């Protein structure tokens, strides 16, 4: 069936698919989107970062956005200041994604922790949605940085599945946790795939955590549309298997019985670039602004993650490298902390994680797998 309607005006297929998947109803179309994502992530050739002329044009796009964007600070009723941005080129497009760039104060949490704006980029991985994408969909949601977000998502999902299925194939239970996961789409695809492969659901434990309760509600809507996953919902948080979706601040872990069981596979993707420590550059450095030294920092975050990771358990995490693609987002008020693999490895070491030798690289991100070092194993490969 058609995942999204055909467009003749300014409609956006990825944004409409987003509404279908995370909205109420439309179960058949939602399952078709999930099927398309699973096929692209697991059964298709690896999605590749953009190269060549499109990568070269990113520098021009940064220059253009920097020259044509106007910044405005508004004071709210309570005296708090909000920064909004104006750009006639983007505004004339009429694309709904533009609001996430021009009004970052309204969407910062979503951008940081994988909420709707990031999920719109993921929708471009669904072949039925990609086929109906229009010009501005491709310019915004399949640009050099957006393609890197897609590639990062595929690597995260494949690696999580590989590590989980390895344990399940040995008849061992697997416990997965996604930190700052937004709506947890990657973990949902992993669990759906594992169940389709015939693994015992009583051996699977997955926790999807995010600080925004709205994201958790959307996650549960998706799960309830998928017959294999809907029976695994853990409403109480006090079982040893199933899927638990919880609103949780990383630095204030939820108090449930799940905390008694350390996790075998943990992900912290798309979050470290907002925390200081072990960087080679920051947005503030480039702008000549002071860099905040406020706590918590990246070391604090990884220590929380390590406390919930089993000895010998695996961590999937990413670097964030400075490039013209990231500077475009800086024009619209985003601030990043940049790390190359050597900086990420030094940071991970502070929490007892060692690299296992598995890394995939794009234009902006490297996705790397680490093992908690209390239990040292000879195998240095994820494959």
Instruction: Indicate whether 100 belongs to any domain.
Output: yes
| Number of domains, the chain | 1
Q: What is the tens place of the pLDDT at every residue in 210-230?
A: 998 999 999 999 999 999 999
Looking at 231-321, list the stretches that DSSP marks H as alpha helix, in order from N- to C-terminal side.
Answer: 283-287, 298-307
Q: What are the backbone angles phi and psi of residue 209, rounded to the nearest 5°?
A: -120, 145
- pTM of the predicted model, to two decimals? 0.90
Instruction: Indicate whether 4 belongs to any domain.
Output: no
Q: What is the CATH number of the domain that holds 258?
A: 3.40.50.150
pLDDT band for position 293 (50/70/90)?
confident
Instruction: Indicate whether 59 belongs to any domain.
Output: yes
Instruction: Indicate whether 85 belongs to any domain.
Output: yes
Whether the upstream peptide bond of residue 211 has omega within 30° of 0, thus cis, is no
Window from 107-116, 163-172, 195-204, 319-328 with minimum mean pLDDT: 107-116
d(CA 375, CA 358): 18
Q: Which residue has the higher pLDDT, 10 or 315?
A: 315
Q: Does residue 168 register a pLDDT over 90?
A: yes
d(CA 71, CA 83): 7
Q: What is the tens place of the pLDDT at every residue in 241-285?
A: 899 999 999 998 776 655 566 999 999 999 999 999 999 999 999
Instruction: Indicate whether 3 belongs to any domain.
Output: no
**Domain of residue 348, residue span:** 12-377
Instruction: Indicate whether 382 belongs to any domain.
Output: no
Q: Does residue 376 register a pLDDT over 60?
A: no
Instruction: Indicate whether 157 belongs to any domain.
Output: yes
Q: What is the tens place of the pLDDT at every residue in 64-97?
A: 999 999 999 888 777 778 888 999 999 999 898 8
Residue 340 in tokens = 């190359």
- Is the separation of the CB atoms in 178 and 208 below 8 Å? yes
Tokens 């796009």 belong to residue:
61
Instruction: Indicate whether 212 belongs to any domain.
Output: yes
């Amino acid at each position: 069936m058609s995942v999204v309607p055909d467009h003749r005006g300014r409609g956006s297929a990825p944004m409409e698919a987003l509404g279908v998947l995370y909205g109420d109803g439309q179960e058949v179309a939602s399952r078709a989107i999930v099927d398309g994502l699973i096929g692209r992530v697991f059964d298709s050739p690896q999605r590749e970062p953009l190269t060549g002329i499109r990568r070269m044009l990113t520098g021009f796009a940064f220059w253009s956005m920097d020259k044509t964007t106007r910044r405005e600070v508004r004071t709210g009723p309570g005296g708090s200041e909000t920064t909004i941005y104006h750009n006639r080129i983007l505004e004339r497009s009429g694309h709904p994604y533009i609001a996430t760039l021009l009004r970052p104060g309204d969407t910062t949490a979503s951008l940081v922790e994988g909420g709707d704006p990031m999920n719109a980029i993921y929708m471009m991985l669904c072949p039925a949605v990609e086929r109906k994408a229009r010009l501005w969909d491709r310019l915004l949601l399949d640009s050099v940085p957006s393609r890197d977000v897609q590639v990062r998502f595929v690597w995260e999902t494949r690696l999580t599945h590989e590590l989980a299925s390895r344990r399940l194939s040995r008849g061992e239970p697997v416990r997965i946790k996604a930190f700052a996961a937004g709506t947890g789409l990657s973990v949902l695809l992993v669990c759906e795939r594992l169940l389709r492969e015939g693994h015992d659901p009583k051996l699977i434990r997955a926790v999807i955590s995010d600080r925004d309760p709205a994201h958790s509600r959307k996650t549960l809507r998706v799960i309830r549309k998928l017959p294999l996953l809907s029976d695994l919902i853990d409403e109480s948080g006090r079982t040893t298997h199933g899927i638990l979706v919880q609103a949780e601040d990383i630095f204030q872990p939820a108090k449930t019985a799940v905390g008694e069981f350390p996790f075998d596979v943990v992900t912290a993707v798309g979050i470290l670039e907002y925390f200081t420590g072990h960087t080679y550059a920051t947005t503030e450095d480039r702008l000549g602004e002071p860099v905040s030294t406020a706590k918590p920092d990246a070391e604090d975050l990884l220590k929380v993650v390590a406390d919930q990771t089993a000895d010998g358990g695996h961590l999937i995490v990413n670097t964030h490298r400075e490039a013209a693609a990231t500077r475009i987002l800086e024009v619209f008020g985003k601030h990043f902390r940049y790390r190359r693999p050597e900086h990420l490895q030094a940071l991970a070491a502070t929490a007892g994680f060692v690299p296992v030798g598995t890394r995939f690289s794009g234009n902006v991100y490297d996705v790397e797998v680490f093992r908690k070092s209390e239990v040292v194993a000879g195998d240095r490969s994820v494959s």
